[in-house]
Structure 1
Amino acid sequence: MPELPEVETTKRGIAAYAKNTLIQQVIVHNPRLRWPVDLTRTKQLAGQIIHSVQRRGKYLLFFCDYLHFIIHLGMSGSLRMTQHDEHIKKHDHIQLVLDNQQTITFNDPRRFGCFIVTPEPLNHKLITKLGVEPLSADFHANYLYKRLQNKKINIKQCIMNSQWLVGVGNIYANEALFLSGIHPLRPANSLSHSECLLLVQQIKQILRTAIRHGGTTLKDFINAQGKPGYFQQTLNVYGRANKPCHHCGNLLHETRINSRSTVFCSVCQHLNINQTPA
């Protein structure tokens, strides 16, 4: 699934071509996404100018004249810029033809993504329920520490809870916890303030580094130019179960937390008996 760095990479790539362009035509090849595409509203995007492209969590927000649209890439989706005369590919569901000879093409093999046209994107229910942005000044040690005080569940579930912290998906949660030396099964309320400070720093750093590398290529992520990301080459734990830890040489362990693969080093991320979840 595309995570925050992948979505941010896509946003920057699309914005470079789409900002201040006129939508000449909207072509819906397949409206059957996670929620059916509103064909009437979607067609009304034609004739509007894309003034800006923003990201909120893993959602892309396109601000136009009076109707705007929200895109979520789902499990396997991607946005790419194509030429007007380029042949469509399998799973290309929606295309926005621009006045600069470019086309925004939304591809989604599994169709878990969404394309929503709305007059008020920031007030849409999908957006209003989102928590703080991890790369913003609002996400700091005090915020995290206070949030965790009454949380007995494991720390990994907490930092992946999009209702109070957006965009930290499974890959980057694994990596940030490893770099912080925190076991993913640690009860959240057992973290000290200094550990929260370190975890905040590592989350910010891992996301910024991933963005610089253009995201992570695992199965099917490509950026706006149709090219893969390269952050996978620097992963410490994710996808490396039963391989030596880069720091200590101990074999990495894998478990499942909320049905998600969780890889850790039992030496670098030691779990004390009194830190075991209830």
Structure 2
Amino acid sequence: MLSTECELLSNQLVAPDHYVMQILAPEIARASLPGQFVHLRIPRTMDPLLRRPLSVMLADKVHGHLRLLVRAAGRGTEIIVALPSGASVDLLGPLGSPFPMPDEIDGGSDKDVLLVAGGVGVAPLVCLADAMRSLDDTPYIRSMFGASTEDMLVCWTELAARSDEFSVATEDGSAGEEGLITEVLAGQLERGHARVVYGCGPAAMMAEVARMSAEAGVPCYCSFEQRMGCGVGACLSCAIGAAGGGYLRVCKDGPVFNAEQVDWEAIRDE
């Protein structure tokens, strides 16, 4: 884990209220693994007071650049996305547990990898797909992306470009299939030949992804988006229920979990 002041190279609006920040952070970029995140704050000010956790969408280890997807969802993130190019940001990271790569999972090396993204949950899956493309034994990647409307399919081209197959679902039918992305996943699981499912998105979506994967007998790993305080496991503000009792700290034990570790009923009831 590193703490460093970095230069914001660009801050681009890519969809309503969604921005991609490109930051010069060589040490963090080189150390980052798919599924990890950084904790960002603006230096020399206490406004906003708390850091903001942001998933790494891409880590360019050669040029030392990080690309982060930010949704302006409150005063703190609105201040962050308004920063101009050349501004300084303070990054703590990389933090959290990464996705296990397909060759670390016992599921058959000749089978496909399924990625299921919802909303800004696309960011860590882009990073994962990018990393899988550099493996000696590159898996066949089937990706699915769901959102409420076509405008909310944020950075879909980044995921599509790194996938062998790419499917879309929108709740209003403005792009791809009309309905939920889990309905697309159902068809993909019925095809069989799936080695592992990776998901990131709203908690209700991931609960259904986990349930469907378990019924199909396919390993599933989910990355959680959660409000955080410290980012290092001390404050417990990001805790979720663990299967069998107790809690899991999203910042420290996650954000990536084997779906079998999570108490999905407790999450559905929240």
Instruction: Report the TM-score when normalising by structure 1.
Output: 0.30
Higher strand fraction (1 or 2):
2
Quick check: which has more Rg, 1 or 2? 1
The normalised TM-score by structure 2 is 0.31
